[in-house]
Amino acid sequence: MAFKNPLPQRLREARQRADISQKNLGIRIGMEPSSASGRMNHYEKGRHIPDLQTLKHLAEELDVPLNYFFCETEEMAKLVKIFYQMDKERQSELLRILEQKVSQLDKSK
């Protein structure tokens, strides 16, 4: 089975969730207004892949973590977004709880 790059879909979903047009998103991250819509369209169609710096700017503008763009499953993307929205203290607590739960499940096998 061929690998399907999740980036185009994740980018489109995050942009639509933020209710920003392709052109406005491109302009917000520093693209020239005349090419912003076309470049963003190419990213969302998977014709071109943005470089890491551009991806970082997109993540910041769309308020998602950078790794969100690379999540291969919906479940992982959802977890990444939830975790990102938590403060550091809550992240640490959640990790502790998950580690305990996984340990308990492993022992019950």
Among residues 100, 91, 44, 31, the alpha carbon closest in space to that of 65 is found at 91
Domain 6-107: give its CATH architecture. Orthogonal Bundle (1.10)
Q: Where are the domains of the chain?
A: 6-107
Q: What is the pLDDT along the chain (109 residues), one digit of tens a residue?
A: 677 899 999 999 999 999 999 999 999 999 999 999 999 999 999 999 999 999 999 999 999 999 999 999 999 999 999 999 999 999 999 999 999 999 988 888 7
Residue 2's pLDDT is what? 73
> Can you give the pTM of this predicted structure?
0.85
Distance CA 1, CA 17 (A): 30
Q: Which two tokens stand for residue 59?
A: 């993540």
State the burial class of residue 1 (Cβ atoms within 10 Å of its Cβ: 0-12, 13-18, 19+): exposed
